[in-house]
Structure 1
């Protein structure tokens, strides 16, 4: 009889303490799994950008690492440049769809800021800006609007006089 009493007390203790503890552990593990998924996603996007930059280095004659456009390209070089710009824009769109689109936690916003900085840097290049209208044809509408907004901001910033 006494054994039954203690078993019942223990079952109540487990229910009162163990169940909430198990829920807390489950929730923490879910958060950790989501963070790991976000880290893996960001890592794969960063690797894709690194691979793109390797392509840029392979095509050094296009001068894509310079700050300004390269107006003296021949037709074959312009074709390669266009292909690289198209690849780059596809990468930006993928990052936009996977990182920017959806709820933006502070951490996710920091991850996106890197991509926005890359995109702004490319929007400062005259040849990239000139190619954008045709590159954006058929792209996701929200992405296209986002890129055009950044392009406008960069254009306005370039046009405004610099403060000393």
Structure 2
């Protein structure tokens, strides 16, 4: 076999084996990078929710962690603080919706989204949160508004 034939044979090997392998590795790395980015986004959002819960704890006089019973009577200043906290929460929920939610999500993304759906349902069970939604949703993303309003409607009826 001459040197020219050897080089020609090697070019065929690269074309037949190397090129598809390179494409496979490229696609695999792209998917891996996308998964890492999605997990990083999810982690950042989770950290923000944890910070929000710390704020709720700092303002325990508002009784926002109370799961049952009617909302307590709050004075004007407490109502204002509660409104600000609800505003922060809606902003966080909208950001999670815009960054994580898709109509046709892969399994892993659906698992990440489900925890946000659970948080939204938990807050939408609160009568005072549902009552504040029309004001809170003013100017927010329309798809997000429809999504959380549907959840609020579902959670307003006793199970």
Q: Do 2:96 and 2:116's aligned partners in 1 also have CA atoms closer than 8 Å?
A: yes
- Who is 1:14 aligned against? 14
- Who is 2:78 aligned against? 77
- Who is 1:28 aligned against? 28
CA distance in 2, matches of 1:18, 1:35: 26
CA distance in 1, matches of 2:8, 2:143: 59
Q: Do 2:45 and 2:96's aligned partners in 1 also have CA atoms closer than 8 Å?
A: yes
Q: How many residues align?
A: 158
Deviations 1:64-87 (A, max 9, x none): 111145331111011000000000
- Who is 1:140 aligned against? 141
CA distance in 1, matches of 2:107, 2:82: 35
How big is the shift at 1:106? 1.7
1:42 and 2:42 aligned: yes
Deviations 1:71-110 (A, max 9, x none): 3111101100000000001100110111114541121111
1:95 and 2:96 aligned: yes
What TM-score do you get using the length of structure 2 for normalisation? 0.93
For residues 155 and 70 of structure 1, do their structure 2 counterparts lie closer, same or farther at Cα, with a shift above 3 Å needed? closer
How big is the shift at 1:10? 1.4
1:104 and 2:110 aligned: no
CA distance in 2, matches of 1:118, 1:134: 20
- Who is 1:67 aligned against? 67
CA distance in 1, matches of 2:111, 2:53: 22
Name the SS for the 1:73 alignment partner.
Answer: coil
What TM-score do you get using the length of structure 1 for normalisation? 0.91
Correspondences of 1:112-127 after superposition (within 5 Å): 112-127=113-128
